[in-house]
Structure 1
Amino acid sequence: MVLALALDVGRKRIGVAGCDRTGLIATGLTTIERTSFERDVEQIRQLVQQRQINVLVVGLPYSMDGSLGFQARQVKKFAYRVGKALELPIEYVDERLTSYQAEQLIIAEKRSPSRNKGLIDRKAASLILQRWLDARVKT
């Protein structure tokens, strides 16, 4: 059974999502306020242990033309270090427009996106994980 944890890695926050035991439904779990690499990894480690995670799914912010820009390279570098520290494989998902979709969901709930940045990050992480889970079901 594959138990995944998804990360929407930003400069200030990391949105985190997990899936149910069936591996079908992604849910936003928490938002980590970034402080230092060590503290960020420690918070991720706690979730990995609690949920018995065996793969990390990381959203990769491709440019609209499909290339890997500066931010995507930073995310890859961070994900590589986290994967190494936690001894977990990393899988990447194209996360283009997930933050925009998450924002639209919040607006649809009649909430303010500017007051709910952490919620946007969590929802974006769950959209990333859902894309990954759905792709696995099809194969």
Structure 2
Amino acid sequence: MTRVMGLDVGDKTIGVAVSDPLGWTAQGIETIQRIGIKKDLQRLEEVIKGYEVNVIVVGLPKNMNGSIGPQGEKVLEFTERLKKRFNIEVMLWDERLTTVAAERALIKADVSRKKRKKVIDKMAAVYILQGYLDSKK
């Protein structure tokens, strides 16, 4: 069984989602408040061990023309740190529009702006992971 973790990496937070044991659906787990790379990786390690994650899918923000901007560069650096720290497969997933889709879903569900701010990154991680899982079917 392969459990996959999806990450939406931002400057202030990391949205975390994990697949079900069969790898069909993505569930939002938490939004990690970023304190520093050591603490971020420590928290991710707890999640990886707790859910027995075998693969990490990191959302790579690209510009609409497919190029990688400053935020994408930061995500690439973070991904390298993940690869060095954990001995599991780490993949990049084009995350264009995932945050927009997550925001729309939350607005449609009539979630208040304040609450949306708290869960948007976790939801974006769910969209990233679900996109990856769907592509595997």
TM-score for the superposition, normalised by structure 2: 0.96
Seq. identity, %: 39
**Stretches of 4+ aligned residues off by more than 6 angstroms:** none
The letter of the residue matching 2:97 is: L
Structure 2 residue aligned with 1:8: 8
Structure 2 residue aligned with 1:126: 126
1:87 and 1:120 mapped to 2: Cα distance?
29
- In the TM superposition, what whole-angstrom CA distance separates every residue of 1:87-116 from its partner, at most 9, and x where no partner exists? 222111110011111111111111123443
Structure 1 residue aligned with 2:43: 43
* Paired residues of 2:103 and 2:116 also in contact (CA < 8 A): no
Q: Is 1:86 aligned to 2:86, yes or no?
A: yes
User: 5+ residue gaps in structure 2?
Assistant: none
User: 5+ residue gaps in structure 1?
Assistant: none
The letter of the residue matching 1:63 is: N
* Paired residues of 1:13 and 1:118 also in contact (CA < 8 A): no
- In the TM superposition, what whole-angstrom CA distance separates every residue of 1:33-63 from its partner, at most 9, and x where no partner exists? 0001010001100000011111110000010
Secondary structure of the 2:121 match is: helix
Q: CA RMSD of the aligned region, Å?
A: 1.0
* Paired residues of 1:56 and 1:83 also in contact (CA < 8 A): no
1:87 and 1:68 mapped to 2: Cα distance?
26
TM-score for the superposition, normalised by structure 1: 0.94
